[in-house]
Chain A
Amino acid sequence: MSEFIRLPAEELYRAELDALKKAETETPPRGWRLSPRSVLTYITGGQAGGTNITPKYIGHTRLVEIAIATLMTDRALLLLGEPGTAKTWLSEHLAAAVCGDSTLLVQGTTGTTEDMIKYGWNYAALIASGPSPDALVKTPLYRAMEEGRIARFEELTRCLPETQDALVSLLSEKCIAIPELSAELRAERGFSLIATANTRDRGVNEMSAALQRRFNIVRLPAPETPEIETEIVTLRVRQLKDSLELPGEPPDAAATAKTVTILRELREGRTLDGKETLRSSSFCSAAEAISLLTGAMAHAAGFGDGRVTDAHLAAGLTGTVVKDPETDGPLWQEYLENVVRKRAGWEGLYTELMKP
């Protein structure tokens, strides 16, 4: 185990990336480390010359294909979706597979300024010797253009419109003008940008039309089937447990099934067997199921015998589902009465959930 809490994907999965490189039969596009087809295998899983490639993003293969195809064209990629739909996760793995570097990252906030996007100055050097290439501070985007790699931009819509505008010219010209040095930086082949934005935070509508036009937009939906969702949740909970060295036992299949079922039924507005329609509540993602279960696991380890029980689930469920008491509260109550109470094997959970 490394000392860093979290390694970048290209480090964590170096063996897989190397195996894919070795097994490559097609010529990658210029500036790419792998062919589009191998990138797809890296993301969705498969085999490479005898090495097993674990799936990173599960389900919606078609969307992953569209994302990869976008990076082959001269347009940037925007991954959009509800919270917890693996936008960040997919963006990191795409960058790792396409150019072997997922760390050229700009984090969007209201405080992000133009000089965090294009370039800044080392003021001490600037004052001492005037504008010179040595005094120039390169941003991750600058370096991605210079080296022909993929830059990542997280939470794009949190940036103020002025800052977003700086991206417009950068993406259409694929070049940064540096008037202070009477120079310009032209992007090397292989440069592209993957941005992510959350639809719950501030809508994509808050992005200027000009900027939207520069992107191919891929919306990541919730997992398609309960089986896929369970697979994702089980896999990620186990991985998180291992990488964070969490104590306790991973939740058993029944606990995972209950959690996934509840969040999914409320999201989809019908029971899994399709027999009853329900009213859908706030968006509850697979990521929330993952964090609920990891939380329950930690709780069980700290205050129980290490086994995740209904009581641990109940402690997390209400808070996860009821985000707005006004609208979600009644829906949750209705769900408890109509579904949870009547489901065989869920009596214990119901009792726990009804405890004040």
Chain B
Amino acid sequence: MTHIFPVRHLSPRAAHELLAFCEAARPGCVLIEAPGDATDILRALAAPEVTPPAAILAYTDETLTRSFTLPLAEYSPEYAAVRFAAERGIPMECVDLPFSAALAFPPPSAENGGPSAYDLCARAAGEADFDTYFEACFEHGGDYRAAMTALGETLRALAPPDEYTLMRERYMRRRVRAAEARGYPGIVLVCGAWHAPALDGGEAMSDMEYQGLPHVECALTLIPGSYPKLTGGSAGNRSPGYHELLWKHRHDRSAVPAAFLSGVASHLREEGRLEASAAAVADAVTLARALASMRGRPPVLEDLRGAAVTVLGRGRREAVADALRAMEIGEKTGSVPPALWRSPLQDDFLRHIRRLKLTRFLTGESAALALDLRAVPGSEPLARRRSAFLHRLRALEVPFAVPETASPSRELWTLRCTPETDIALTEAVTRGVTVEAAAAAALEAALAEAGRPAEIAGIAGQALRCDLSAPFAAACGALGGAPAHSDDFTDTVYAADALDRVLQTAPHKHEALTPLLRRLCLRACLALPAGSRCGDARAVPAAACVQTLHRLYERYADPEELDAARWRGALGRLAESTEANPRLSGLAFALRLERGGTDADALAEEIYRRLSPASSVERAAGWLDGLASRNRRALLETPGLWERLDDALAGLDEDRFRRALVPLRRMFAGFSARDRRDIAARLAARWGLVSGEAAGPAELSREERETLAELRELEFF
């Protein structure tokens, strides 16, 4: 006699009811809807040294690795069945299509856009999603087996199974019949509610069809899982932590709301949010119950979330997001003894080593590898693929390859394979099962942490070197939308500059990068007015940024995409501005002078204005400093500049003169000794001195020496 027991994977109620059923039915054998070749591995799951969550991973050894994960938790009905069989010493067998056949079929196509049968069921019941619907209708009470059987029938009616599913079911029937033929005194078949109606009777797979099943080589392993990992993928469970709580309170679910919400509150208190008091928890429980009563059902996770946000988070989801995540998902990790598993990432690593002809580097000795990255027409760019592979390992922090030097056309690496390489590869499996996927995940994680635009641009560059398009696109997206803040101007220029450097090393990415670069240039140009109103400390990096942006505009301006006239206009306004930091205005003036946007007469006039007694000495000196940061020779030749400067300095009183000295000194430091001599000569001529006298002290009077000593303190000379 075979009892079909419909379950939902990762449902605590299903596990609980299944155990109760098995206790009563005392079967002689347990059959489980899991891939047939996973029986041994699933049996190993019952070993005392294994702690769930864990997953069964199957992967093929092909160019395009295909893999499949079956996650299991303490509250999985399958786990309950395995444990039950082990404790009773009865046989357990997996009866679904083996991985070795399943992986030969194309992966189930992503949903065709419309709502799935699951969505339809939820919608018909007025619930937001299937998880909520399932919890509301099945997880908390009622006649479990009858309800689940009905659910299976509804689901099948809403979305008739496809050919592949029908074939799987024929296979399962064949295996069930075979078990029945062995004459166990009762069999419990644990299967998804969706299959339950079909497995009761119906036609089994014929010998011919059975023998014609495809077969691919694949490796199977048990790997440790974690609650965060369990939330991913179609077979997962979005709130493992909460489900564990449901499992813990399987005998009395009425305690769940208070347990969950006090858990959230205590996380909040650990974060220092003391308002999450016991009284607040009580209010939250009341609200959750009121919410549930509007729908005439017990409170479900969705109600608890709403109550937590409203009462404990004072209406802010972000305020409780971390605490909710801790309770809904949690951090629990499983453990599987190393003897029981191997990392598919190691396999993938070795596969690439072979394919990229790097096997000679596996000896454990250090060896150098030079890569010529220039594109050779007609030949396969092995060097580029090798480079991307090595960069990916670096992104994963797998110690294997260290870059020595790099240029756009050539990279020099030192390679060495050590036991640490293996360990790192084993650990990195939490990020993905192939080097490519894991490296992409690592970069995306880094991106989530990165704040400054320049950091993000750095990650974009790294993604390019790794030849990973998804994180590259994500980084470009992050740059495009970086939030506005006070350091906008400099930050944006840094980012543009970083991208420009990326582009210099990867000219083939021109198409992807240039539009973004242009957008950053435009943004920086628009941020210039606000960015230029800054204090002297920030004016120094800002000046460097103006110069960088000027260079970038010269390189990337384009009549359609990036308007050079806008930049000229911005420089013009900056040059004339009285609100901007004078150093930046001076620099802008110099840039205009260089491009012929203005002339010597205008310069003389501007000097007159900037050095007029009405403006402070510091401002005047800062302006000069900015002016002198470009084309110093041209300034030397500017008629009237030094004379005007001399007049202005002579007009200063002692105090103002002293204050002007520091910036003046900084300005003159930028000139070469020869230039300084030239200036001195011109001034000497003006002062009626023999040239040379003005350039340095000759005989000094005592008084002059004292003055000079004072000036030295000011570090003028």
Contact = CB atoms under 8 A, between A and B. Distances in A.
B307 to A, nearest CB: 8
Given A70-B310, A73-B287, A281-B484, 15 more contacts: A65-B294, A69-B293, A69-B294, A72-B293, A73-B283, A73-B286, A209-B275, A212-B314, A219-B315, A279-B484, A280-B484, A329-B526, A330-B526, A334-B526, A338-B519
Contacts of A330: 484, 488, 523, 526-527, 529-530
B275 A213 contact: yes
Nearest to A71: B290
A276 B481 CA distance: 8
Interface in A272-304: 276-281
A87 B185 CA distance: 66
A75 to B, nearest CB: 6
Interface in B523-551: 523, 526-527, 529-530
Which 4 residue pairs across A and B have the least CB separation, nearest first?
A: A277-B481, A217-B315, A330-B526, A69-B290
Interface in A322-342: 326-327, 329-331, 333-334, 337-338
Nearest to A274: B477
A54 interface: no
B291 interface: yes
Given A217-B315, A218-B310, A278-B480, A333 B526 contact: yes
6 contacts: A217-B315, A277-B477, A279-B483, A280-B483, A327-B530, A331-B526
Interface size class of B (residues with CB under 8 A): 20 to 34
Nearest to A78: B315
Interface string B437-481: 000000000000000000000000000000000000000011011
Contacts of B307: 66
A338 B294 contact: no
Contacts of B481: 269-270, 277-280
Interface string A54-91: 00000000100110111011010010100000000000
A292 B519 CA distance: 29
Interface string B183-207: 0000000000000000000000000
Interface string B287-309: 10011011000000010001100
A338 B519 CA distance: 7
A251 interface: no
A204 interface: yes
Contacts of A62: 128, 302, 306
A144 B484 CA distance: 46
A329 B519 CA distance: 16
A36 interface: yes
Contacts of A40: 294
B265 interface: no
A270 B522 CA distance: 17
B316 interface: yes
B480 A327 contact: no
B522 A276 contact: no
A219 B316 contact: yes
A333 B431 CA distance: 41
B482 interface: yes
B287 to A, nearest CB: 6
Given A69-B294, A330-B523, A333-B526, A216 B287 contact: yes
A202 interface: no
Contact of A334 (B275, B287, B522): B522
Interface in A222-241: none
Contacts of B482: 279
Interface residues of A, number: 39
Nearest to B474: A277
Contacts of A329: 526
Give the dominant DSSP class at B's interface.
helix
Given A269-B481, A279-B484, A70 B290 contact: yes
B656 to A, nearest CB: 33
A63 to B, nearest CB: 8
A338 B314 contact: no
Q: Is the interface of A mostly helix, strand, loop or mixed?
A: helix
B480 A277 contact: yes
B650 to A, nearest CB: 40
Contacts of B529: 330
Given A209-B275, A277-B480, A70 B294 contact: no
B311 interface: yes
A36 B287 CA distance: 13
Interface of A: 36-37, 40, 62, 65-66, 68-70, 72-73, 75, 78, 80, 204, 209, 212-213, 216-219, 269-270, 276-281, 326-327, 329-331, 333-334, 337-338
B280 interface: yes
Interface in B510-524: 519, 522-523
A330 B302 CA distance: 41
A333 B316 CA distance: 32
Contact of A331 (B128, B283, B291, B484): B484
Contact of A68 (B283, B294, B302): B294
Interface string B665-690: 00000000000000000000000000
A204 B314 CA distance: 10
Contacts of A279: 481-484, 523
B294 A213 contact: no
Contacts of B478: 277
A66 B287 contact: yes
Contacts of A280: 481, 483-484
A75 B291 CA distance: 14
Contact of A217 (B293, B294, B314, B526): B314
Contacts of A219: 315-316
A347 to B, nearest CB: 14
B301 to A, nearest CB: 13
B51 to A, nearest CB: 37
Which of B291, B294, B315, B526 lies at the interface centre, i.e. has the most chain A CB atoms within 10 A of its CB?
A: B315
Contacts of A69: 287, 290-291, 293-294
A333 B522 CA distance: 9
Most buried by B among A66, A75, A212: A66
A66 B85 CA distance: 46
A36 B291 CA distance: 10
A221 B523 CA distance: 29
Contacts of B522: 334, 337-338
A257 B275 CA distance: 44
Contacts of B287: 66, 69-70, 73, 75, 216
Given A75-B283, A327-B484, A216 B477 contact: no
Interface string B252-295: 00000000000000000000000100011001001100110110
B496 to A, nearest CB: 13
Contacts of B290: 69-70, 72-73
Contacts of B286: 73, 75
A219 B293 CA distance: 22
Most buried by B among A70, A78, A80: A70
B212 to A, nearest CB: 45
Nearest to A68: B294
A209 B316 CA distance: 15
Contacts of A66: 287, 291, 306-307, 310
Nearest to B310: A216
A337 B518 CA distance: 11
A82 to B, nearest CB: 13
A178 to B, nearest CB: 28
A37 B488 CA distance: 50
Nearest to A61: B128
B311, B314, B316, B482 — most chain A CB neighbours (10 Å)? B314
B424 to A, nearest CB: 33
Most buried by B among A37, A40, A73: A73
Contacts of A204: 314
Nearest to B307: A66
Contacts of A218: 310, 315
A240 B582 CA distance: 53
A78 B315 CA distance: 9
A65 B316 contact: no
